[in-house]
Amino acid sequence: MNIKERIDLLRSELHRHNHNYYVLNAPEITDKEFDDLMRELQELENEHPEYADPNSPTMRVGSDLNKNFTQVAHKYPMLSLGNTYSESEVTDFFERVRKGLNEDFEICCELKYDGTSISLTYEEGKLVRAVTRGDGEKGDDVTDNVKTIRSIPLVLHGDYPPSFEIRGEILMPWESFERLNQEREAREEPLFANPRNAASGTLKSQNSSVVATRKLDAYLYYLLGDYQPSDGHYENLQKAAQWGFKISEHMKKVQTLEEVFAYINYWDKERRNLPVATDGIVLKVNSMRQQKALGYTAKSPRWAIAYKFQAERALTRLNKVTYQVGRTGIITPVANLDAVQLSGTIVKRASLHNADIIEGLDLHIGDMVYVEKGGEIIPKITGVDMDARGMLMGEKVRFITHCPECGSRLIRYEGEAAHYCPNETACPPQIKGKIEHFISRKAMNIDGLGPETVAMFFQQGLIKDTADLYLLKTSDISPLERMGEKSAYNIIKSIDASRSVPFERVLFALGIRFVGETVAKRLAKALGSIDELENASLEKLKNIDEIGEKIAQSLISYFANPANRELIERLKSAGLQFCRKEEEKQDYSDKLAGQQIVISGVFEHHSRDEYKELIEKHGGKNVGSISSKTSFILAGKNMGPAKWEKAMKLGIKIVNEDEFLERIS
């Protein structure tokens, strides 16, 4: 057997053993035997790069090379499902389907896995692309990360179609989630609120080798393409299982409403024994022909609905209340509890939100409290068992008056529920939070830095504010834990590249209260430089489009603080862009001034985000919904039928890409 034949044999065997272990849960060899085969393949591939294959089993380990995600348009829009929370709404759905079809139909009942949606494209039996849901019309290409998930096949077997798309949910099993949070807690890093957030955050990691260590899983639930094996959705997924996909074994076809409720009631209890998080049931009309006949609304299919389980509730003891400080100085009270199992995880802490919530609950230390967890949020206290309080009532919980981190007296703005620490320039959590905001993608976009790295640099005394980032050297950070020369070089390179980020994003990156992306763009366009903004009066600021009293006052307060002005001077010295360049000014006009524009559909020349930016640059305003005030709709392919119908009804003009670009040229 020659080298190429040995490599092909090893790949084939490893794909088969991987499927047996992670999908069928029926391994044929030991872990050591598997590792030995993998090691042999890696050595042969290293020695013979001419036989490289992007779908080799060795791709499962990931790479430590950073890679930015590119946006990819979905061939078929990824719509969300309508949610329902009561049996009466399920009955209404069933009756709507009955009337809409006027013939017999089957419903496929499935578990609603609580993860992050993914769309996988296969050509000639090989995985070629994995794309997140994104905005439903386009998403991020995360193929390299998805290849590390061992339950997703890289190469198929059997009589698969030449080309198709299959969709599903990427999950972090409870076991992996608990282990990850234990590791983060030991490193004093922020914990993930739930497995869905952990899975989503992991999938967006720039480092696929990190993704490989977190042991994500996946269930596939919808097959699309021109070569469907049969008319039945259930039958198509059973066929997909034969090709190598992990399909839920808990799917069931039913014909009556009674069978639907039996399925719901069974899994409302039994789901607690599953290894992954679920938050409901999905009901789908099984026949593809009937699905097509029922069609879609603007946002969701008429042939499917999601029934969400009620939040789980547990009773446990309140031991104490601690307080966390956020980036903007918001103080969040946290209840520390006796450990209790809820939704498959051990809960020891729960959010109390603000002082009004605490007062409304009339909390005392030692109270037996009801804790709920709704799947997409961290646990919260919803009530107190007054009968369990008895004579020995503990100390009443009163909201703190001073910051737990820096000791500053807290303030509460009129009309707001939250308390704030005003010491924004010297309170450690606020400083770290501001740095994290500063380096984020939509701000300075500094790759290689994240909350963990920022915390480490801060603790080591390397950075005390955002300006310190521009004083860092490779030699400062390469000796640190989990760093090294290459990582350090990439961070310094990315910091250096951020010096060319345009003024409007630098302004957003400063983290001034109430100054988000859109407001920063308005201010940059109206005033042109940080000096003009710093010297602007309250009235001048309020005269700028969409800048009201609250934002104007926040800007005045920010620049009145000498520490903020000093920071800006240091950032200026570092070479950041604090005024609009002449070429940027040339890109702006008033051709769309005063016009409200809705964007709908899929475009060829530019992305939706690019069109939004063009609208703003030419004085227009992006709006999300159609009304009588809408000036026109910028429409691409597959414009939503509901939007088209409403536009016709209101007599609103529909403008295509070419016509729009001609208007602003």
- Which CATH architecture fits 311-421? Beta Barrel (2.40)
pTM as predicted: 0.52
Strand order in the sheet with 116-123: 126-132, 116-123, 163-171, 217-224
Residue 175 clears pLDDT 70, i.e. is over it: yes
Element (H, E) at 658: helix 657-664
User: Which is the CATH superfamily of the domain at 428-500?
Assistant: 5' to 3' exonuclease, C-terminal subdomain (1.10.150.20)
Residue 290 clears pLDDT 60, i.e. is over it: yes
Q: Tens digit of pLDDT for each residue in 532-585?
A: 999 999 999 988 877 888 899 999 999 999 999 999 999 999 999 999 876 566
Residue 376 clears pLDDT 60, i.e. is over it: no
* Rg of the chain, C-alpha, whole Å: 28
The yes-or-no answer to whether 428-500 and 503-586 have a common fold is: yes
Q: Which amino acid is at 196?
A: R
Taking residues 394-419, report their average pLDDT: 92
**Strand intervals (E) in 328-434:** 331-342, 345-351, 368-373, 380-384
pLDDT of residue 61: 61
Element (H, E) at 465: none
Considering the chain, what percentage of its residues have pLDDT values greater than 70?
94
Residues labelled as active-site residues:
112
pLDDT of residue 232: 95
User: Which is the CATH superfamily of the domain at 3-61?
Assistant: Helix hairpin bin (1.10.287.610)
Rounded CA-CA distance 148/213 in Å is 9
- Closest to 451 (Cα-Cα) out of 471, 478, 431: 431
- Which CATH architecture fits 83-308? 2-Layer Sandwich (3.30)
Residue 354 clears pLDDT 50, i.e. is over it: yes
Q: Tens digit of pLDDT for each residue in 59-90?
A: 766 554 445 678 888 988 888 888 888 889 99
Rounded CA-CA distance 500/516 in Å is 20
Taking residues 399-417, report their average pLDDT: 92
The listed CATH number (3.40.50.10190, 3.40.630.40, 3.40.50.300, 1.10.10.10) that belongs to domain 596-664: 3.40.50.10190
Buried b (16+ CB within 10 A) or exposed e, 395-425: eebebeeebebbebebeeeeeeebbbbbbbb
What is the token pair recorded at 310? 């009620």
- 38 versus 220: the higher-pLDDT residue is 220
What is the token pair recorded at 381? 């206290």
pLDDT of residue 200: 87
Domain boundaries along the sequence of the chain: 3-61, 83-308, 311-421, 428-500, 503-586, 596-664
pLDDT of residue 64: 42
| Reported confidence tier of residue 189, pLDDT bands at 50, 70, 90 | low
Taking residues 149-160, report their average pLDDT: 93
**What is the 8-class DSSP label of residue 467?**
G
pLDDT of residue 375: 47
Residue 491 clears pLDDT 70, i.e. is over it: yes
Q: Tens digit of pLDDT for each residue in 252-289?
A: 999 999 999 999 999 988 887 888 988 899 999 999 99
pLDDT of residue 21: 67
Cα first-last separation, the chain:
64
Distances (CA, A) of 273 to 174, 219, 281, 310: 11, 17, 16, 17
pLDDT of residue 25: 60
User: Which is the CATH superfamily of the domain at 503-586?
Assistant: 5' to 3' exonuclease, C-terminal subdomain (1.10.150.20)
Rounded CA-CA distance 383/290 in Å is 46
Length of the chain: 665
Q: Which range, of 290-299, 510-519, 583-592, 631-640, averages the lowest pLDDT? A: 583-592
